[in-house]
Copies of this chain bind each other. A is one copy, B any other.
Amino acid sequence: MTSSDADSPAISDGPDLYSIADLAREFGISTRAIRFYESKGLIAPERLGATRVFRRRDRARLILILRGKRLGFSLRDISDYLALYDADRGQQVNLLAEKVDERLELLEQQLADLQTTIAELQEIRKLARTRVSPAS
């Protein structure tokens, strides 16, 4: 009931409602992985009977999860990270800001590491090319 009464904004982009296989296909992961993420509390799809039903919110979270993984974070870390988004709805805002700052420090360290590494690799590549073709 109240599929679009006066609850959520009337915007509708892609489809809402995805099956577990839909998302698995879209993101190139296994259904097993998705269930695993749910078991760890990272997502909480609704149920239609026993069947999981995912909405845009769940899909958005999945995107954040996968990005976190690309960045090398553990599911525990990612879970904490998602909590920062949820916490948006006020509450212990000071504590939130603290946690965000902590996380930001880590990420900026990582950013520095990354830039150093990229620079080094580009240097190596330059050296390699020099030996092959003096000036192309």
Q: Which residues of A contact B (CB under 8 A)?
A: 67-68, 70-73, 84-85, 88, 90, 93-94, 96-97, 100-101, 103-104, 107-111, 113-118, 121-122, 124-125, 127-129, 131-132
Closest approach, in angstroms, between the C-beta of A80 and any C-beta of chain B? 12
Closest approach, in angstroms, between the C-beta of A57 and any C-beta of chain B? 16
Copies of this chain in the oligomer: 2
B131 touches A93 (CB 8 A): yes
Cross-interface CB contact of A132 among B93, B122, B125, cutoff 8 Å: B93
| Residues on the B chain within 8 Å of A128, using CB | 93, 96-97, 100
A111 touches B100 (CB 8 A): no
Given the known interface contacts A72-B71, A93-B128, A124-B85, the answer about A107 and B118 at a Cβ–Cβ threshold of 8 Å is yes
Given A100-B124, A101-B125, A110-B114, 9 extra CB contacts under 8 A: A67-B113, A71-B113, A88-B124, A93-B128, A97-B132, A107-B118, A108-B118, A111-B111, A111-B115
